[in-house]
Amino acid sequence: MISLLRRHRLIALVGMATLVGAACAPLTGVSTAAPPIITGTYRIGPFNLAAMGQPGSENNATQANIPRPAGNIGIKFVSFDLVDASGTPVPRMDAHLHHVLLMNAARTSPICPGETERFTGSGAERTPLALWGSYAYVTNATDNWNALWHIMNMSASAKSVYIQYKIGYVPASDPSASRPVTPFFMDVTGCGTNAEFNVPGTGGPGSVYTKTRTITAPWSGVAVYAAGHLHDGGLDVSVRRSSNGQVGCTSTARYDMPEPMDFPSSITSCVLHDSVSAGQAYTLTARYDNAMPRAGVMGIMFAYIWKGTPPAS
Ligand SMILES: [Cu+2]
């Protein structure tokens, strides 16, 4: 367990969010130095979208070798937005970021055999990836990045938009990247699907529909960050130890500003330092309002896990 003092220090270090301390790993050896972060802004596009309701109002495609920072780097931060040619964010009700995923073509998933590693992404909620302390997503200079996305024009006029991603990174040799994390793209529909399922909507007012999937940890390590993705009607997505129900992270959907298709406008994330044990089963649960039917929804959680054991404190 992390002592209260250390927990406060960690929260100060991270400067945000909920630290869920149920299966805390010792913080020994975690870098507390301010990382020399370099920020790069990159784009995919432009996408010339026709007005809503017209052919060509959506773009649902993939691209290989998307722009990325040069060199061997440790990524500390990623955020996404839809912007116009001048870099100004497009109002959320005018264009919908349904999803975007970035993949590392040089690696495969730790839990879905043969699937290209998905290392970050976003939907309407635009949850940034934020890795603290010594933890970073390390990618080599020769790794090609691919992307897939689905965006939609929701306005009555044609729009030219870009998918913009901002990356905060350090040289891979920096202490703040000394514990490289592996991204776990966990999906309640399993592997090799399009991630979509339907909520029947037959439960009446206040009822909840749940969809779960069990994922077995392939190796031991420390989970350091997690954040979910849900569609309209989504309540929360959580991961917990199957054996005792101990919660690792619950990502809760918020509807605090209007989004196209009634998508969540934000989702909470979890800053963690929780031990993960090889062979342990973890239950991923997506919960949806079941008062009305919803088609093609998703229940996804990205978790970032360092394969290693911190020295005892
Ligand atoms: Cu989605």
pLDDT of residue 249: 97
Give Cβ neighbours of residue 152 (< 8 Å, ≥ 6 apart): 49, 52, 57, 58, 59, 95, 96, 98, 260
Q: How far apart are the first and last CA of the chain?
A: 10
For residue range 221-269, list pLDDT tens digits in order.
999 999 999 999 999 999 999 999 999 999 999 999 999 999 999 999 9
Give strand pairing partners of 48: 160
Q: Are residues 49 and 68 in the same domain?
A: yes
Q: Are residues 198 and 135 in the same domain?
A: no
Q: Are residues 25 and 43 in the same domain?
A: no
Q: At which of 176, 208, 232 does a domain end?
A: 176
Ligand 1 centre and the CA of 119: distance in Å? Answer: 16
Q: Are residues 148 and 226 in the same domain?
A: no
Q: At which of 151, 176, 201 does a domain end?
A: 176
Q: Are residues 245 and 115 in the same domain?
A: no
Ligand 1 centre and the CA of 65: distance in Å? Answer: 23
Residue 219 within a domain: yes
How many distinct structural domains can be found in the chain?
A: 2
Rounded to two decimals, the pTM is 0.92
Residue 52 within a domain: yes
Residue 192 within a domain: yes
Residue 239 within a domain: yes
Ligand 1 centre and the CA of 29: distance in Å? Answer: 37
| Token duo for residue 281 | 């089963």
Ligand 1 centre and the CA of 296: distance in Å? Answer: 8
**Residue 46: cis peptide before it, omega within 30 degrees of 0:** yes
Residue 311 within a domain: no
For residue range 119-170, list pLDDT tens digits in order.
999 999 999 999 999 999 999 999 999 999 999 999 999 999 999 999 999 9
Ligand 1 centre and the CA of 152: distance in Å? Answer: 13
Ligand 1 centre and the CA of 298: distance in Å? Answer: 5
DSSP H or E stretch at residue 48:
strand 38-49
For residue range 168-184, list pLDDT tens digits in order.
999 999 999 999 999 99
Residue 313 within a domain: no
The better pLDDT of the pair 18, 286 is held by: 286
Q: Are residues 24 and 52 in the same domain?
A: no
Q: What is the mean pLDDT of the chain?
A: 93
Buried b (16+ CB within 10 A) or exposed e, 6-39: bbeebeebbeebebbeebbbbbeebbeeebeeee
Q: 170: domain CATH number?
A: 2.60.120
Ligand 1 centre and the CA of 195: distance in Å? Answer: 8
Q: Are residues 155 and 236 in the same domain?
A: no
133: Cα separation from own chain's centroid: 18
Residue 197 within a domain: yes
Q: Are residues 138 and 189 in the same domain?
A: no
Q: Are residues 113 and 245 in the same domain?
A: no
Domain extent for 245: 1-30+182-305
Ligand 1 centre and the CA of 43: distance in Å? Answer: 20
Ligand 1 centre and the CA of 300: distance in Å? Answer: 8
Q: At which of 176, 194, 218 does a domain end?
A: 176
Q: Are residues 79 and 169 in the same domain?
A: yes
Ligand 1 centre and the CA of 70: distance in Å? Answer: 30
Q: Are residues 12 and 127 in the same domain?
A: no
Ligand 1 centre and the CA of 231: distance in Å? Answer: 6
Ligand 1 centre and the CA of 312: distance in Å? Answer: 40
Residue 231 within a domain: yes
Q: Are residues 149 and 231 in the same domain?
A: no
